[in-house]
Amino acid sequence: MEPLTLQAPYLVLVGDTEDPTYAKTGYGIAHWRPDRVAGQLRFDNANVDLGVPDMTVAQAAEAGVRSLVIGVAPVGGSIPDSWLGTIVSAAEAGMDIVSGLHTRLGEIAQIRNAAAVSGANIIDIRIPPSGLPVATGRKRSGKRLLTVGTDCAVGKKYSALAIHAAMRDAAINATFRATGQTGIMISGSGMPIDAVVGDFTSGAAEILSPDNDPDHWDVIEGQGSLFHPGYAAVSLGLLHGSQPDAVVICHDATRTEIAGWPDYAPPSIPDCIERNVSLARLTNPAVRCAGVCVNTSSLQSEERDEYLATIAAETELPCVDPVIDGCSTIVASLFQV
């Protein structure tokens, strides 16, 4: 896991993306690294707005932008052919092209040739290291917290970053461990866990959070959901390999169906707690749930307070919106017997 250095400032490409769920890379970078984002590149029919200035490739080049970051993560991890001209133009302008897609942009001739002429770099984030092992299941020293979810794109990354920030504020020795392309772009290192061959997923999670000091916490970004018909496998592998001492449930307050899978409904939060804790016991029998993080951005303030209070009463756990409330109560619960 070599450290990653991206050249700032960034132009974030969201193109004609209509569903904000699939623009989570752009939103995450704009929220957690706003100092590195110069603008966004949207096509005329885009519904997604990151809340940063709109720019063309030409305007970005004139402003000194150094990297075009692909800000979307659609199902299957590929980009439309209609986007290639824009990406090629950025490479021709000398901007590094940064992608977290399963499709490797370095293998696309038009982009590769344009970058070769201008001297731009093509940085494909979603390439795991070679030589990953099968998991051992051996108990590792140190402590680990894993964020898990009722669905994809419900705030597992945001929650992990907010928990890590709360630990840092409390002078707790902790490290954020990224497992997805956006987290890796934000933190500069990590493991693209959903690009790892299935047999090695848990082993990759073990490598990501190795032995550490007894009082050190690894805060591990979760992926997918055990209740997701498409992505449950990566969630289970990450759960077993992380050997979490604590899990934190992440949920979207208004999500009524699994994103992109309308025939499936998200589980209740108690059901999500029960399944994650039960399956996590394979590699850490002492695991427990430490709290619930909810994305309440679509609720009014009075609705938000009532919603969080109801979940807290139902689960007898701290329940917060990590962006609005922070996660100090969840961190405090880790040390309560």
Q: Which domain range does residue 155 map to?
A: 143-333
Domain termination residue (choose one: 89, 124, 159): 124
Kindly state whether residue 5 falls inside one of the protein's structural domains.
no
Residues 252 and 115 in one domain: no
| Residue 1 in this model has a pLDDT that exceeds 70 | no
Strand ranges (E), the chain: 10-15, 37-42, 67-70, 96-99, 122-124, 143-149, 174-177, 217-220, 246-252, 288-295, 319-320
Residues 66 and 162 in one domain: no
pLDDT number for residue 47: 83
Average pLDDT over residues 332-336: 92
Q: CA triplet 177, 179, 183: central angle to 5 degrees?
A: 75
Return d(Cα 99, Cα 276) in angstroms, integer. 31
pLDDT in tens, 39-52: 999 998 778 999 99
Kindly state whether residue 195 falls inside one of the protein's structural domains.
yes
Tokens of 144: 């680990």
Kindly state whether residue 134 falls inside one of the protein's structural domains.
no
pLDDT number for residue 306: 96
Quick one: pLDDT band at residue 77, thresholds 50, 70, 90?
low
pLDDT in tens, 145-172: 999 999 999 999 999 999 999 999 999 9
Residues 165 and 42 in one domain: no
| Residue 114 in this model has a pLDDT that exceeds 80 | yes
Kindly state whether residue 133 falls inside one of the protein's structural domains.
no
Q: Rounded to a whole number, what is the largest CA-CA distance in the chain?
A: 61
Residues 165 and 297 in one domain: yes
Residues 203 and 311 in one domain: yes
Average pLDDT over residues 281-295: 98
Kindly state whether residue 165 falls inside one of the protein's structural domains.
yes
pLDDT number for residue 44: 83
| Residue 78 in this model has a pLDDT that exceeds 80 | no
Specify the CATH number for the domain of residue 40: 3.40.50.720
Domain termination residue (choose one: 124, 152, 176): 124
Average pLDDT over residues 127-138: 96
| Residue 122 in this model has a pLDDT that exceeds 70 | yes
pLDDT number for residue 80: 81
What is the count of structural domains for the chain? Answer: 2
Strand ranges (E), 110-252: 122-124, 143-149, 174-177, 217-220, 246-252
pLDDT in tens, 210-226: 999 999 999 999 999 99
Residues 148 and 119 in one domain: no
Specify the CATH number for the domain of residue 204: 3.40.50.300
Average pLDDT over residues 309-322: 98
Residues 239 and 321 in one domain: yes
Kindly state whether residue 131 falls inside one of the protein's structural domains.
no
| Residue 325 in this model has a pLDDT that exceeds 80 | yes
Domain termination residue (choose one: 124, 156, 187): 124
Residues 230 and 279 in one domain: yes
Average pLDDT over residues 54-58: 96
| Residue 86 in this model has a pLDDT that exceeds 70 | yes
pLDDT number for residue 73: 79
Residues 113 and 156 in one domain: no
Average pLDDT over residues 311-323: 98
Residues 106 and 147 in one domain: no
Residues 49 and 104 in one domain: yes
Element (H, E) at 189: none
Return d(Cα 59, Cα 11) in angstroms, integer. 10
pLDDT in tens, 8-31: 999 999 998 888 888 989 999 999
Inter-residue contact 237 to 193 (CB < 8 Å): yes
Residues 207 and 237 in one domain: yes
Quick one: pLDDT band at residue 128, thresholds 50, 70, 90?
very high
Kindly state whether residue 130 falls inside one of the protein's structural domains.
no
Inter-residue contact 124 to 115 (CB < 8 Å): no
Inter-residue contact 272 to 294 (CB < 8 Å): no
pTM of the model: 0.93
Amino acid at site 27: Y
pLDDT number for residue 337: 60
Kindly state whether residue 111 falls inside one of the protein's structural domains.
yes
Average pLDDT over residues 86-106: 94
| Residue 138 in this model has a pLDDT that exceeds 80 | yes
